[in-house]
Amino acid sequence: MTPPNKQATPPPHKQWVTDCLVPLDVCETILAKANQYDNPQSAWEQWDVGWELLWLLVKTGYDDKKLTLCLCDIAEPVLEICQRRNIDTLLGNVIQVARDTIDHEWAARRDAVCDAARPIKAVEGNAVVAGPKSAAHHAAYAIARVVAKDGRHVHLVPNEVYWVGSWVASCTMSETGEVFFKTHYDQSNAENRRQCDLIRKYFPWEWVKAKLPVTANL
């Protein structure tokens, strides 16, 4: 029993966590959760929070075209909410341009998607209240960042994309899209499951396995 006012010592990392995730400088929240799984394959295939899986993906390695399409798919529910509520947002145009130019040469893709996203004003909202327009703006900016940087040129950092999962999950919580940061930690949330399934569709375990620092005996 832990004495009063004294925090319990966290369990030691499992060997696969130490070998595969610690070298990637993964945040403590994800390390602690990963420690619940026996191996990296079960962790990847059973992970149930979208923003965390995006965080892991960017840290382990990604394909920019696949990530672009994945973020477009993740953002679709916010676009539908905005359309239902007659909220003017350029997210739909950014998604369309990103998809239409996915096989174009990189500079042409970059210019087209960034031009589509450029008219969006500075993102409004904060970590307490965020409506669908803010979520749409964040998603559009994230898609543009992925295309503009392209992993071959400048590698992304997790905070450029991972929060899209949180904002989208929060906005789909209710028809009004006004609930934010209430349940993206809820591991049974249907939107989080949808996001994780999308991420795994574009980046199955065998693809991720090849990107890990240690792959022997996995």
The pLDDT, as a whole number, for residue 211 is 87
pLDDT of res. 43: 94
pLDDT recorded at residue 104? 95
pLDDT, position 215: 58
Residue 59: the pLDDT is 86
Residue 195 has what pLDDT? 92
The reported pLDDT for the residue numbered 8 is 54
pLDDT at 184 (0 to 100): 42
Confidence (pLDDT) at 199: 96
**Does the residue 98 lie in any domain?**
yes
Spell out, as residue ranges, where the chain has pLDDT lower than 50: 1, 122, 125-129, 175-188, 216
- Enumerate long-range contacts of 154-162, CB under 8 Å, 24 or more apart: 156/58, 156/62, 157/58, 158/54, 158/55, 158/58, 158/59, 160/58, 161/54, 161/58, 161/67, 161/71, 162/51, 162/52, 162/54, 162/55, 162/58
Domain for residue 13, yes or no?
no
Domain extent, residue 131, equals: 56-202
Whole-number Å distance between alpha carbons of 2 and 146: 45
**176 lies in a domain?**
yes
Query: Given this model, what pLDDT does residue 1 score?
Result: 47
Split into its structural domains, the chain has a count of 1
Q: Does any domain span residue 94?
A: yes
Q: What is the pLDDT of residue 156?
A: 75
Residue 45 lies in a domain: no
Residue 93 included in any domain: yes
Query: Residue 154's pLDDT is what?
Result: 66
Q: Would 195 be classed as within a structural domain? A: yes
Q: Report the pLDDT value the prediction gives residue 3, as an integer from 0 to 100.
A: 53
In a domain, 35, yes or no: no
pLDDT reported for residue 128: 39
Vertex 212: Cα angle to 185 and 27 (nearest 5): 35
pLDDT (0 to 100) of residue 171: 72
- Whole-number pLDDT of residue 112: 96
Joined tokens for residue 40: 């990296």
| pTM for the whole structure | 0.83
